[in-house]
Amino acid sequence: MFSLKSILKVLAAYAIWIFLFLFYFSIGAQFNYIRGLYQALTATSLQFTAYYINLKILLPKYYDRDYRKYRFYASILILILSSAGALFELLYNEILPEYVVFESAIWKSAIFSFIFSVVAFWASITTYLIGRQEKINLEIEALKREKAESELKFLKTQINPHFLFNALNNIYSMAYTGDSSTPEKITMLSDMLRYVLYDCESDYISLYKEIDYISSFLEFQQLKTEERQDIEFNLGPFEDNYQIAPMLLVGFVENAFKHSKIEKDRNGFVKIYLWQNPTKFYFSVENSVPEVLLPLGSNTARSGGIGIENAKSRLALMYPDRHQLEIASSENYHKVVLELYK
C-alpha cells in the first residue's frame, strides 16, 4: 500500500510538469499554436530528461562518492541536451518552415536548452538533498527508538537480578519461619515479574500497573528490616485510563532507596507523591541522604546514577516538549519532581 505522503508527492510532480508544459505552450502560442506545442514539448522533455537522469542516476551514484566524476558527467549531459535543443529547432525549421518564427533561432534554442537543463539540474539537486536529509532524519528517529528500547531492556536487566535476589531471599526467610503471608508475597513477586517481562513490551501502560508495581516494591522493601521504615506513598486523584511509559517512575523510586540507605539509617526516609489532572501528571520522590554517603560539597549530591540518566533519555524520546524534570539535592535530602503534560 502506498502512503498518503508518497501519493501526494507523485501528484505534486505531475502538477509541476503539467504547469511547466502549459507555461511554455502559452509563451510559444503567442506566435502560433504549432510553435507553442513544439516549444512546450521540447522544453518540458529536455527539463524532464535532465531532472530525472540527474536525480535517479548521477546524484545517487557520484554526488557523494566522487564529485569530480559527477561534475564531468553532468557537464556532458547538459551539453548533449543543449545540442539536442538546437537539433530539434533545426528539424522544426526543416519540417514546418511555414511556422518558423525566427530564421536564426537555432543558436538561441541551444542557449535556452542549456538554461533549461541547468535549471532542471539545480531543481533535482535540491530535491535530492531534501530527500537525503529526510532519510537521515528518519534513520535518526529509528536509531532513537532503538536506543530507547535497548535502554528499557537494559533497565530491566538491572532491575531483575538485584530485586529478584532480595525478594526471593525475603520469601525464603518467611517460608522458613512459617509466615502465613508467604503465598501472598509469592503471588506479588509473580505479578511484578510479569509486569517487567511482558507488560513493559508496550510503549505505554496503565498508570495503575506502574502504581501496583511500586506498591509491591515498597512491600518487599519493608521486609528488609524488622522495624517499620519511614516510607510514604501518597496517591492523589488520577484518571482510570491514564497511561504512562512503563518503568518510568520505578527508576526514581529505586534510586531513592539506593541513596537513602533507609534500611541502615534510622533517620532515613522516602516520600513519594503522585497525582494527575486532565492537563498534568505530577510525581515526586524525596529521600534522606546519610552524611557518610553525601559529605558537604560532594558532587555525589547531584549525581543521579544510570537509572536517572536512562529516565532522562526516555523522557526526551517519549515526552518531547511535554515534560519537566527537576532534581534538587542538599546535604540532607535528594528530591526529584517530574511533570508530564498532555
pLDDT digits (tens, 9 = 90+) for 196-218: 888 877 889 999 999 999 999 99
From 3.30.565.10, 3.30.300.180, 3.30.70.1290, 1.10.760.10, which CATH number describes the 180-341 domain?
A: 3.30.565.10
How confident is the model at residue 294, as a pLDDT? 45
CB 206 within 8 A of CB 243: yes
How confident is the model at residue 297, as a pLDDT? 45
Q: Give DSSP secondary structure letters for 196-250.
A: HHTGGGSS-EEHHHHHHHHHHHHHHHHTT-SSPP-EEEEE----TT-EE-TTTTH
List, in order, residues 6 or more apart from 109 with CB less than 8 Å away: 42, 85, 86, 88, 89
How confident is the model at residue 158, as a pLDDT? 54
How confident is the model at residue 73, as a pLDDT? 92
pLDDT bin (cut points 50, 70, 90) of residue 296 is: very low
User: What are the start-end ranges of the H helices in the chain?
Assistant: 4-28, 33-53, 67-95, 106-176, 182-197, 207-222, 250-260, 305-318
CA distance 323 to 341: 6
pLDDT bin (cut points 50, 70, 90) of residue 162 is: low
Write out the three cell numbers for 63. Answer: 554526488
In the three-class reduction of DSSP (H, G, I as helix; E, B as strand; rest coil), residue 29 is classed as coil
Kindly tell me if the per-residue pLDDT of 116 is higher than 80: yes
Query: Residue type at 89?
Result: E
CA distance 335 to 330: 9
List, in order, residues 6 or more apart from 294 with CB less than 8 Å away: 259, 300, 301, 329, 331, 334
CA distance 221 to 251: 15
What is the CB-side half-sphere exposure of residue 46 using CA atoms within 13 A? 31
How confident is the model at residue 301, as a pLDDT? 42
Percent of the chain surpassing pLDDT 90: 31
Q: What is the pTM of this model?
A: 0.58
Domain ranges of the chain: 4-139, 180-341
How confident is the model at residue 334, as a pLDDT? 92
Write out pLDDT tens, residues 217-245.
Answer: 998 888 888 788 899 999 999 998 999 99
List, in order, residues 6 or more apart from 194 with CB less than 8 Å away: none
pLDDT bin (cut points 50, 70, 90) of residue 300 is: very low
Mean local confidence (pLDDT), 269-285: 95
